[in-house]
Structures are given as structure tokens and as C-alpha cells.
Amino acid sequence: MSTVIQGARPYGEGDPVDVLIEDGVITAIGAVDVPEDADVLDASGQVLLPGFVDLHTHLREPGREDTETIDTGSAAAALGGYTAVFAMANTDPVADNAVIVEHVWRRGQEVGLVDVHPVGAVTVGLKGEKLAELGTMANSQARVKVFSDDGLCVADPLLMRRALEYSTALDVVIAQHAEEPRLTVGAQAHEGERAARLGYPGWPAAAEESIVARDCLLALHANARLHVCHVSTTGTADVLAWAKERGTQVTAEVTPHHLLLTDERLATYDPVNKVNPPLRTQSDTARLRTALAEGVIDCVATDHAPHAVQDKDTEWTAARPGMLGLQTALSIVAETMVRTGLLDWRGVARVMSERPAEIGNLADHGRPIAVGEPANLTLVDPDAEWTVRGAELASIAANTPYEGMRLPGVVTATLLRGRITARDGKIC
Ligand code: DOR
Ligand code: ZN
Ligand code: ZN
């Protein structure tokens, strides 16, 4: 079985080339004679990138299959250009043991559209009281490489310190949802003028920044790796820059929504804009963009968070936080980072594929586009635009904040180990 991609520009650089893929591996790049049995992808005018890797996805299985399943979430991921995703542990039951993480891993392999890597919980039941069996999950068939209580912060500094210490022996990474819970009791939106005017309790920047500063110091002293989820403030970028300068093994992600949207959206009263951490200010989005371009923030992660209609179409304070992200991520990055000149396509490959694969310790993703490498690839039409319609997305839920928006950058095909998983907006 072979596939030929014709006339694409790897990383959007140089002259168009053909890429021959045999048995899941890139075997020739240049002018390629098309084998008789080959599937041909006409990719003229398109950019060829390594398949995207999402370090932060909520797939809701087990427990909330009314909003997303591993099946539908995998489809959304493949259509969004992803070849691997990390599925967060805040399911029901929680992914805090080998049985659940092995179920998620196996189900992902059965669906076969993207590699679904389960994230293991740091604490039992996400309760923040007792460490989960990290070693058992790391050594299970699921080979868990990332641990997080995401949705909640590992707030107890002693527990966080222990988790970081264990993580070094297991060669895994702890991903922190940085939110000091004592500072966000009842919080509904970014603490500032807009939330105050609407009478919403605020979510202060310091609740994020204080935890990130604390954890960077804990990681430095433990000689452990720390990953910071969904950075949302200028102050967090400052802390990360400082910690990295001091040699802390810290990495960080930013979501597409924190790169584009601001708390001006509060004026709509529409809970589709409610997310945790909340949408911040224009100056925060500006700083997050430059931090991503400069590598202070390592990568983009979606925090894809499907929610049921009854949990979103309700009053703001009752609505759950979170928004869909897998199928719109590339376009939001194109809009905020490429159109603005902050990143070229080589840079997009770095923040959406290479760095997340390194952080998640995946050997077969985020690889160079070169002969001998696994054919985990994404084709993007950089000049095309599309209009977002929540009802048309592959997720069961439809809570996209980009409804009706016209966005640049269309994912035209995704290949997982040489197999075409998505093509022209359809699952294959
Ligand atoms: O907005 C969010 N939604 N933030 C989180 O941390 C959790 C997530 C969810 O699970 O819905
Ligand atoms: Zn989170
Ligand atoms: Zn999350």
C-alpha cells in the first residue's frame, strides 16, 4: 500500500515536491514515479506539516458520552490535522488507575484515527488528597507519560512536590492546571472592570501566577519536569521566562482561544465564552502571542472541552466552563500567529507538532518530514478560508465560540502512519 502526495511544500518552504509513502514510512521526497497501486493526493498550493499533537484534550469517555466519545473526538482531531492527542483524566470514573487508562488507550487504537494517549490523574479521584498510582499507570499498556488533575489544581504544595519527585524516576511529566483555589472561590470571569460591571466574582491573574511561580520552584529543587497548562496571563509568561532563564525544566502551552479572544466577549452574556482559565484582556493576548513566538510558551494545546446544551445554554453562573477546539485550532493559529507574521509555517510545525510531541515523550510524532520517518502528516491549504458551524463539527457537542466566523487555513488531509484519516473535511 503506497500513497503519493503531489506538489506540496514541506513547511511552506522551497519548491513543491512529491512525497512517497510506503508501509507508513516516507520513502522518497522529490520527483516521484507514482506506483500503480498508489493513492494520489493532489496537494498543489498546499503546505505539508508534521501531524499535529494535542497535549490537552477532553474526550469525555468514560462518563459523558452524550457530549463526546473517543470515536467522535478522534474524528474531530483527525479533521483538525491531529495525529495524536492526550486525553485528560477528568472523566467519570476518573482516569486514576490502570484499568481506565488502558481502556482509553485501547479504544483509541480501535478507532484508529489518532493515537489517543490517556493522561493519568495525579491524585485519587482528582480529590487532591492522596497521590494516585502513577507508576502503575506509567507501566501499564497505556504507557502514561503525562499526569494531570486538570479541571482542578494540585493545590497542596506537599502533594505537588511528591508528584514531581516521583515523576523524575518514572520519566513522566506533571501538567498543572494552575489555579489557587482560595483565590477563585465562585469566580466567573477575568477579574477586571468588565466582570465587576456585570457583578461576577473575578478570577484574578495572581491565582494562576502564584501557582506557576510556586511550581517552577518546586520543579527546580526536585530537578523535575513541569508542564503548565493553558497559560492565560502576561504575569505567567513573565514567571516562565524567569524560571527558564534559571534552568527550570518547565514547559507551557497556550490555547487558541487565549490567543484570540478577550473578556470583551462578556458583553454578549453568552456562556459559550465561559472557560477556565477565563478569557483575559487584549494586552494578555498580545503577550501570549509573542511569548509563543519566542518560545517562552512552548506549544499550542486546545483544551478542547465539549459540553452538553443544557450545561451551556443556561445562565452564565450555572454554565460549565470550556469550549471546543480541535477542528478550529489550526485556523486560529493561522489567524493570530501566521497572518500577523509572528510565526512562519516552520514555526507552526514547532508549536503544534514538534514541541508537544517532545513534551509528551512521543517518539513517532512531531518528526522531521524526511525519508525514513513515520508518515504522520498534515496538509494545509494556507490560502483557503472556511466558516465555522458548530453543528457541522464532528464533536457531539457544538459549543464553539467561533460560530459563524470566517477563518483562514483549511486542513485538507491528515495521515496517520501513512493511512489517510481525513480528506477534504471528511473522515476516511
Ligand atoms: O474550561 C475548562 N474546561 N477548563 C478546565 O480546566 C476543565 C475543562 C473541562 O473539563 O470542561
Ligand atoms: Zn485546565
Ligand atoms: Zn482542560
Closest ligand 1 atom, residue 305 Cα: 11
Look at ligand 1, atom 4, and give the residue with the nearest C-alpha. Answer: 276
Strands 82-87 and 115-118, bridge-based pairing: parallel
Look at ligand 1, atom 7, and give the residue with the nearest C-alpha. Answer: 151
Instruction: Verify that 87 and 37 share a domain, yes or no.
Output: no
Helices (H), 261-327: 282-294, 309-312
User: Going residue by residue through the chain (428 aa), what tens digit of pLDDT does each one get?
Assistant: 899 999 999 999 999 999 999 999 999 999 889 999 999 999 999 999 999 999 999 999 999 999 999 999 999 999 999 999 999 999 999 999 999 999 999 999 999 999 999 999 999 999 999 999 999 999 999 999 999 999 999 999 999 999 999 999 999 999 999 999 999 999 999 999 999 999 999 999 999 999 999 999 999 999 999 999 999 999 999 999 999 999 999 999 999 999 999 999 999 999 999 999 999 999 999 999 999 999 999 999 999 999 999 999 999 999 999 999 999 999 999 999 999 999 999 999 999 999 999 999 999 999 999 999 999 999 999 999 999 999 999 999 999 999 999 999 999 999 999 999 999 999 99
Distance 10 CA to ligand 2 centre (A): 33
* 396 belongs to a structural domain: no
Residue 8 pLDDT = 98
* 42 belongs to a structural domain: yes
Instruction: Verify that 27 and 125 share a domain, yes or no.
Output: no
Instruction: Verify that 143 and 30 share a domain, yes or no.
Output: no
Instruction: Verify that 408 and 302 share a domain, yes or no.
Output: no
* 254 belongs to a structural domain: yes
Name the residues annotated as catalytic. 303
Closest ligand 1 atom, residue 275 Cα: 1
* 397 belongs to a structural domain: no
Q: What's the rounded Cα separation, in Å, for the pair 256 and 337? A: 10
Assign residue 45 a region: left if phi > 0, alpha if psi is -120 to 50, beta otherwise? left
Give me the residues paired with residue 175 across strands. Answer: 227
Instruction: Verify that 37 and 122 share a domain, yes or no.
Output: no
Distance 106 CA to ligand 3 centre (A): 22
Instruction: Verify that 416 and 343 share a domain, yes or no.
Output: no
Q: What's the rounded Cα separation, in Å, for the pair 375 and 365? A: 9
Instruction: Verify that 308 and 418 share a domain, yes or no.
Output: no
Helices (H), 254-394: 256-260, 282-294, 309-312, 329-333, 345-349, 355-359
Query: Are 56 and 287 spatial neighbours (Cβ–Cβ below 8 Å)?
Result: no
Helices then strands, each counted (H, E), the chain: 13, 19
Distance 364 CA to ligand 2 centre (A): 26
Instruction: Verify that 77 and 36 share a domain, yes or no.
Output: no
Query: Are 33 and 64 spatial neighbours (Cβ–Cβ below 8 Å)?
Result: no
* 394 belongs to a structural domain: no
Which amino acid type is present at position 2?
A: S
Distance 151 CA to ligand 1 centre (A): 5
Q: What's the rounded Cα separation, in Å, for the pair 245 and 342? A: 22
**For residue 245, with 0-12 CB atoms within 10 Å meaning exposed, 13-18 middle and 19 or more buried, which class applies?**
exposed
* Residue in the structure block whose three cell numbers are 483549511: 410
Give me the residues paired with residue 221 across strands. Answer: none
Q: What's the rounded Cα separation, in Å, for the pair 395 and 185? A: 31
Give me the residues paired with residue 4 across strands. Answer: 20, 40
* 392 belongs to a structural domain: no
> At 408, phi and psi to the nearest 5?
-85, 155
Closest ligand 1 atom, residue 229 Cα: 6
* Residue in the structure block whose three cell numbers are 518547565: 250
Residue 373 pLDDT = 98
* 61 belongs to a structural domain: yes
Task: Find the ligand nearest to 229 CA.
Answer: 2
Task: Find the ligand nearest to 208 CA.
Answer: 2
Radius of gyration in angstroms for the set of CA atoms belonging to the chain, rounded to a whole number: 20
- Candidate from 320, 324, 400 with most ligand 1 atoms within 8 A of CB, to mutate: 320
**CATH classification of the domain holding 253:** 3.20.20.140
Containing structural domain, residue 419:
2-47+373-385+404-427
Which amino acid type is present at position 171?
A: D
Instruction: Verify that 239 and 379 share a domain, yes or no.
Output: no
Instruction: Verify that 293 and 408 share a domain, yes or no.
Output: no
Task: Find the ligand nearest to 324 CA.
Answer: 1
Number of Cβ within a 10 Å radius of residue 281:
18
Query: Are 257 and 401 spatial neighbours (Cβ–Cβ below 8 Å)?
Result: yes
Ligand 1, CB within 6 Å, residue ranges: 58, 90, 150-151, 177, 275-276, 305, 320-322
Closest ligand 1 atom, residue 177 Cα: 6
Instruction: Verify that 379 and 352 share a domain, yes or no.
Output: no
Distance 9 CA to ligand 2 centre (A): 35
Instruction: Verify that 141 and 286 share a domain, yes or no.
Output: yes
Peptide bond into 271 cis (omega under 30): no
**CATH classification of the domain holding 41:** 2.30.40.10
What's the CA dihedral at 215, 220, 223, 229 to 10 degrees?
Answer: 40
- Candidate from 303, 312, 324 with most ligand 1 atoms within 8 A of CB, to mutate: 303
Count of domains in the chain?
2
